[in-house]
Structure formats: C-alpha cells, structure tokens
Amino acid sequence: MSTESTGLDGALRDTFDWYPVAKKEFRDAIRSKGLWILSFVFTALFLIPAGQALFFGGNIRQDVAQVGMQLFISRFYLNIVTLLVPIVVIFAGYAAVSDERTSGSLKVLLSLPFSRRDVIVGKVVGRSAVVGVPLLVAMGLTGLFFALSDFQFKLDVFAWFALFTFGFTLVMTAIVVSISGAMSTNLRSLAGAGLVYFYLSFGWNSLANTIGDLLADYAGIAGALRWQIVLFVKLISPTQAYKTLTNSMLGEGAGAAMTARYSMFRKGPETMQTICGDVLAGNPRTVQSMFGNRTVCESGGSSLPIYFSDPAVFLSFFLWIGLAAALSYYTFDRVDL
C-alpha cells in the first residue's frame, strides 16, 4: 500500500469514528457472489438502452438527435432506477445490522471503541459504497455510450441525472440499513424493507390522493389548499421526489419545474387548471412536440412556490436519511443485545 493511500486511510480513521466500520462493511459485502451477480445484471440493464442508442441510432433526424438522450432517460432510466436500484439496495443492506445481531458478532464489534451511533452510520456509509461502485460504473459507461452515439450528449443534463440518482440511492440505502438496525432478525428486516419499497414505489400516490379525498369529504378542505396538501404529500416520497426532479431537469424553460409537478396528477381539466393556476402559480397550455401534443404548466408571471421548487424537493430527499437514522438509532440504542 502506498504512503499516500496509508496517509489518507489514517486521516479518515482519525477524523471519523465510524470509518473503520464502513471500511469493514465494504470489504465484507463485496465478497458476496450474489451481490456481484445482481450488480452485473444491474449494470447490464443500464447499458442496454445506451447500447441501443450507440449501435442502432444511426441515420436519425436532427430533431431526434437533439432530445434523444433526454427521451431515453425519461422513458427507460427513470423506471430502471426507481424499480431496480431499491432491489439492489435491499439485497445489499437488509442484513447489515440484523445478521450481526443474530450471530453475536455485533457484541464483539460494540466491545471495541465504537458507539452504536458509529455502527449505524458506518454501516450506512459502507453499504452505500457497495451499491455506489457498480452504479458509478454503470453511469460512467452509460454516459460514454451516449457521448459516442449520434444523439447530442449534454453533459450538464447527464451530470444532474447522475447526481439525483446517487442521492436517491443514498436515501434508499439509509432507509434499508436503518430498518435492519431496528429489526431483530434478517427475515423481519427483509420483510420490512420489502414493504417500505413496495409502498414508496406503488402505494404512495394512492395515499396522497386518499388524504386529499378525506380532506374534501370530511374536513371541507377543497380547491387549491386540498391540492397543495396532496402535492406536498406526493413530494415526501423519495421515489416521487426523484422522478419529478429528473423530469424538471429534462424540461426546458422557466416552466420546467412547474410542468414536472403538474404531471404528477392525472385528473380532469378543472382540477388540472386549479393545480397549475392556484397551486403552482402557472398557466396550463397545450403544446406540440415531436412526441405528440402535451399539456404543460408554464410560468404565469409568478415564480413557483418555494416549498415546491427543485431545491426544496432535493433537500426533502435527505430528510429521509435523518428520519430513518434517528428512528433506527432510537430503537437500536435501547435494544438488549
């Protein structure tokens, strides 16, 4: 090992009490053959759409070439990330703490100069690195394929997409590892992580819409206030936040963020008018594009409410990390090992 590497390793060890735990987690997890297989499948699924753009995208029209990369991200990669990344994260993190608790090795770890907080933080960081390495490889190769294809490669767009994807991965890892810290067995941890994944991916919008219906039916809250609350609840989900942030980045013009929030609803014309005009301070308009007619929410002279803006949604991402870690630490700190 080089002196520089040793120096960096020593500096991290001296600065962060959780660093040795994270380092051990990373080394232990990468020995899993199952994780290597899942990472290979994960990387391959990332490369298939980009490979199509590279090898089968010749002789395309100029207008298609200009938006081709954004179209691939919107049509393919959003689903790949939101459906597949959490599965990889669950496989990598569901036994992070619960496995050591059942085997008894957690007692040995805590007999060393590590607090329970160091254990939770170290395991989140270590498992994030385990998932992040294949994700980094997949994103790097995907960007290279798009750069070599006939599609126009927009570095800023791809960089934002990569940032949001890594943020989403970090949030899901923190949630899964925190569930592992709160559960006494691997089976309970796996079941809890699977339930959270399913609900965040497929049930959250129904929850938000149900809350809106209940507010209208039993509390008399209707109109703009109702849909503001519904939109706020929708954006709490890290999955929905990731999707709308990415769609906002893929859009163009001052109304891109408005349109991204607007597209989270599938209601009638009157409701959509209320959401765009009264909730988002914009104007709905039907525009023609190469992909057909679509209704967008354009700026009406007023800026998007700050609590629905891209920075606010991005920050809400990381509230999940704090919430998951706090609940896990509260449970983990009081359990009798």
At residue 93, the pLDDT reads 85
Banded model confidence at residue 2, pLDDT cuts 50, 70, 90: very low
Answer yes or no: is pLDDT of 162 > 70.
Answer: yes
- What is the rounded CA–CA span in Å between residue 160 and residue 299? 22
C-alpha to C-alpha distance for 26 and 173, rounded to whole angstroms = 13
Confidence tier at 1 by pLDDT (50, 70, 90) = very low
**8 Å CB contact between 154 and 64:** no
- pLDDT of 291-313, one tens digit each? 556 778 887 666 788 889 999 99
3-class state of residue 32 by DSSP:
coil
Q: When comparing pLDDT for 195 and 35, which is higher?
A: 195
Q: What is the pLDDT of residue 210?
A: 93
| The pLDDT of residue 83 is above 60 | yes
Instruction: Round to whole Å and give the CA distance between 178 and 41.
Output: 26
Which residues neighbour 83 within 8 Å (Cβ) at sequence distance 6 or greater?
A: 201
End-to-end Cα spacing for the chain: 37
pLDDT above 90 as % of the chain: 23
Question: How far apart are alpha carbons 46 and 276 in whole angstroms?
Answer: 34
Residue pLDDT, tens place only, 22-32? 888 888 877 77
pLDDT at 218: 92
pLDDT above 70: residue 289:
no
Average pLDDT of the residues of the chain: 83
Residues 5-43 have pLDDT tens digits of 567 666 766 667 788 888 888 888 777 777 788 778 878
For residue 54, what are its two tokens? 């590279």
Orientation of helix 33-55 relative to helix 116-148, angle to 10°: 30
Q: How far apart are CA 28 and CA 278, in angstroms?
A: 53
Mention every residue, 6+ apart, whose C-beta is less than 8 A from residue 183.
98, 189, 192
Global pTM value? 0.86
The reported pLDDT for the residue numbered 60 is 67
Give the residue from 175, 71, 66, 181 showing the smallest Cα distance to 120: 181
Report CA-CA distances (Å) from 172 to 252, 254, 261, 313: 29, 30, 22, 16
Arithmetic mean of pLDDT, 322-334? 74
pLDDT at 15: 67
CA distances from 314 to 93, 126, 237, 277 (A): 23, 23, 11, 23
Give me the pLDDT at residue 294, please.
Answer: 72
12-18 long-range contacts, Cβ below 8 Å, gap at least 24? 17/113, 17/114, 17/115, 17/118, 18/114, 18/117, 18/118, 18/119, 18/121, 18/122, 18/125
Q: What is the pLDDT at residue 65?
A: 67
pLDDT at 331: 73
